[in-house]
């Protein structure tokens, strides 16, 4: 699953930066983000030190921000900030007793609003998708993901092609996901952690170089 997330994200970002007319590249790219949300939840469940896990995410988010901005010429916060906010939320929700369920709703709404106010990539949609992977069981995840996407598309906050992201949840619920203990198949940790900022930096150099006439793209 990690390889699939990285490859489809790279395809998506190359399509966004250099091949905006090739819609199929963006469609393929819809697979990536849900997998990252799911793997965030898996990482949270299996980490021995959630504070270190959160610190790593924060470092990746900070290191990636300028490459993200220059690669796509936008001022939003990159998607790792969305994942970080989602991680903080599920950490808090797991500590709230069941009898205080209304407080959980308030927190979920509040953190979703924070993601929107900070203009993180995917915003509230990303936060709610993380909650789906954390708390919705089995194939109900597919229905929940589909409903969430339809709501955001109809509200005008998402492109219609986001519907294709449902395929990621179908893969996950079908049991084909990469398990954290399958080390022979998983990418090296350094590659998994460095891939996001590194590929953004390369794209940023190419985009900015093209803008100044150093590359003919």
Dump pLDDT digits (tens) for 174-203: 874 444 444 447 889 999 999 999 999 999
> Per-residue confidence at 98, pLDDT binned at 50, 70, 90?
confident
Asked whether 147 and 166 are in contact (CB, 8 A), the reply is no
Domain assignment of residue 29, yes or no: yes
Domain assignment of residue 30, yes or no: yes
Domain assignment of residue 217, yes or no: no
Is pLDDT at 105 greater than 50 in this prediction? yes
Q: What is the pLDDT of residue 176?
A: 44
What would the DSSP string read from start to end of 30-94?
Answer: TTHHHHHHHHHHHHHHH-S-HHHHHHHHHHHHHHHHHHHHHHHT--SBPHHHHHHHHHHHHHHHT
Of the candidates 6, 7, 20, 5, the residue with the CA atom closest to the CA atom of residue 217: 20
Domain assignment of residue 27, yes or no: yes
> Per-residue confidence at 209, pLDDT binned at 50, 70, 90?
confident
What sign for the dihedral angle of Cα 78, 83, 84, 89? Answer: positive
DSSP, collapsed to helix, strand or coil, labels residue 26 as: helix
Domain assignment of residue 36, yes or no: yes
For residue range 3-56, list pLDDT tens digits in order: 999 999 999 999 999 998 899 999 999 999 999 999 999 999 999 899 999 999
Q: Which domain holds residue 193?
A: 2-211
Domains contained in the chain, number: 1
Domain assignment of residue 126, yes or no: yes
Domain assignment of residue 86, yes or no: yes
Domain assignment of residue 216, yes or no: no
Q: What is the pLDDT of residue 91?
A: 95
Distance of CA 66 to the CA centre of its chain: 18
């Amino acid at each position: 699953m990690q390889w699939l997330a990285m490859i489809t994200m790279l395809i998506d970002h190359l399509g966004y930066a250099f091949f905006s007319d090739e819609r199929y590249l963006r469609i393929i790219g819809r697979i990536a983000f849900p997998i990252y949300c799911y793997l965030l939840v898996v990482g949270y469940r299996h980490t021995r030190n959630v504070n270190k896990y959160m610190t790593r995410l924060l470092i990746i988010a900070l290191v990636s921000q300028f490459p993200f901005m220059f690669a796509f010429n936008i001022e939003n916060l990159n998607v790792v900030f969305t994942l970080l906010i989602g991680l903080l939320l599920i950490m808090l929700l797991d500590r709230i007793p069941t009898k205080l369920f209304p407080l959980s709703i308030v927190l979920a709404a509040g953190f979703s609003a924070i993601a929107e106010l900070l203009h993180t990539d995917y915003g509230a949609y990303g936060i709610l998708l993380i909650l789906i992977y954390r708390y919705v069981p089995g194939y109900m995840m597919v229905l929940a993901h589909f409903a969430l996407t339809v709501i955001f598309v109809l509200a005008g906050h998402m492109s219609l092609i986001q519907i294709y992201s449902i395929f990621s949840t179908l893969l996950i619920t079908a049991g084909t996901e990469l398990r954290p203990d399958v080390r022979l198949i998983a990418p090296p940790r350094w590659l998994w952690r460095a891939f996001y900022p590194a590929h953004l930096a390369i794209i940023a150099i190419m985009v900015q170089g093209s803008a100044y006439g150093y590359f003919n793209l």
